[in-house]
Chains A and B, each alone.
Chain A
Amino acid sequence: MERLFVRVERLSKGLIFDCRMCGQCILHSTGMTCPMTCPKNLRNGPCGGVRPDGHCEVVPAMPCVWMQAWERSKQMSMYGKAILQVQPPLNRSLQGTSAWVNDLNGVAQKTPAGWEQ
């Protein structure tokens, strides 16, 4: 059953958001921009390396993912402010699993035991 979710999620979110299947989706907090497409995998971007033309430090041909995230957040009435929250470290063991399933069973929301919200 979960394999089906993974397949559908990979196909749909991959097409729309270039989803990288981190398993802990925060698209609504990042202006519907996948933060895992940032070459530094930042969960709290943008970094200080953004070029004057707004492109990525690592991949000069690519516009900064986090610039888009902040810009698009401004257009979002409901979740627009969520980008101001400090995002916890990613649980790397969830890579390749379904964020939908992880959301439903609470795994996605679980932060490291010592993490202060």
Chain B
Amino acid sequence: MPVSPMRGGSRLERVLRSGRFAVTAELNPPDSADPQSVYDRALVLSSVCDAINATDASGANVHMSSMGVCALLTRAGYEPVMQMSCRDRNRIAMQGDLLGAAAMGVKNVLCLTGDGVQAGDQPEARPVFDLDSITLLRTLRTLRDKGRFLSGRKLEEPPKVFLGAAENPFAPPYDVRPKRLGKKVEAGADFIQTQYCFDVTRLKQFMAAACDMGLDQQVFVLVGVGPLRSAKAAEWMRDKVPGVVIPDVVVDRLKGVPKEQQAKEGKSICIEIIQQVQEIPGVRGVHVMAYRQEELVAEIIEEAGLLARRQRESMAAPDVPRVGSASPRP
């Protein structure tokens, strides 16, 4: 278990440090200016997870901003993980946004390079990519730990944030992925949320290499998981969403059942993967991404046996809030 000092003091950080198996979930931001559309989604997630990820125009599709979603979530007492992508903002904007977010109560930030604009609904947009995920991590760590901007200018009050990054063990070059994880840790990552895992064998190889490098002692790894709605949805994701790798065996298994039962099968696959990844050394939690199926997250967490596990563990670590107890309703 990482023994470094507390970074930002967020609930997610305390849960991970206590040794409890953490659960985070992704909130799909609405195409709406109505705050209720955010709260409706947050409500179904909050009872089973330690923090809610607010995505930042993922897949380069425009939605409500992660900053806006986080403002609403912190206002209602939820714990967000604010995702920040380098695709749409330069270093000036991102440093300012970190201060604004921290002032609103955001305590977890996920630093991403971001999907290319070609993947989204407005491929004509100009991609920024002034920084990359690793230089963003180091920059935000400097704000937090040194109390300085990248320019060297001093802050009056540094932001207290738990810094995260993504990694994709399922994309080539496979032997480089653990090394790049090492670079992210060196740049300042306190926790990692991986891309969707549909290939447990590949994940095991990745985690074994990471553990050999001692990275499991320096960073908390949460494995990305999610239910596939149908064989067609799986094929669409595999073709359209950058970085998502779904092996043929998974698609074939979905195709092997009648259409109306594919969603149930997709959920079963997700639950099986959660149960398998829990046993892998170095894995400290799961990150559930249920694209437009938020209502399924609670069922998945419960049926995977995670609620029972988490309740057992919270008895052993009473200093952190119990499951579902720290998220007041809006």
Q: Which residue numbers of A lie inside 8 Å of B, CB to CB?
A: 39-52, 54, 57-58, 64, 67, 70-71, 84, 86-89, 92, 112-116
Contact = CB atoms under 8 A, between A and B. Distances in A.
Interface in B228-275: 242-243, 245
Interface in B128-173: 129-135, 138-139, 141-142, 146, 148-153, 166-168, 171-173
A27 B84 CA distance: 28
A43 B173 contact: no
Nearest to B112: A48
B116 A58 contact: yes
Contacts of A40: 87, 113-114, 116, 127, 129, 132
Interface stretch (B8-16, B25-33, B180-188): B180-188
Given A44-B180, A44-B187, A49-B115, 19 more contacts: A39-B127, A40-B127, A46-B176, A47-B133, A48-B167, A48-B168, A48-B243, A49-B243, A50-B173, A54-B172, A57-B243, A58-B118, A84-B182, A84-B183, A87-B134, A87-B135, A89-B130, A113-B151, A113-B152
A84 B179 CA distance: 7
State the 9 A-B residue pairs at the shortest beta-carbon distance, nearest first. A113-B152, A48-B168, A49-B242, A44-B134, A58-B116, A114-B152, A48-B243, A89-B135, A114-B148
Contacts of B176: 46, 67, 70
Given A50-B171, A57-B119, A43 B242 contact: no
Interface residues of B, number: 44
Nearest to B154: A114
A84 B148 CA distance: 26
B195 to A, nearest CB: 6
A92 B130 contact: yes
Given A70-B173, A113-B151, A114-B150, A44 B135 contact: yes
A50 B135 contact: no
B175 to A, nearest CB: 8
A86 B132 contact: no
Interface string B265-288: 000000000000000000000000
A45 B184 CA distance: 11
A112 B173 contact: no
B297 to A, nearest CB: 23
A52 B195 CA distance: 14
Contact of A50 (B118, B127, B131, B172): B172
Contacts of B180: 44, 46
A112 B166 CA distance: 25
Given A47-B113, A54-B172, A114-B148, A41 B138 contact: no
Contact of B142 (A44, A45, A115): A115
B262 to A, nearest CB: 23
B91 interface: yes
B168 A89 contact: no
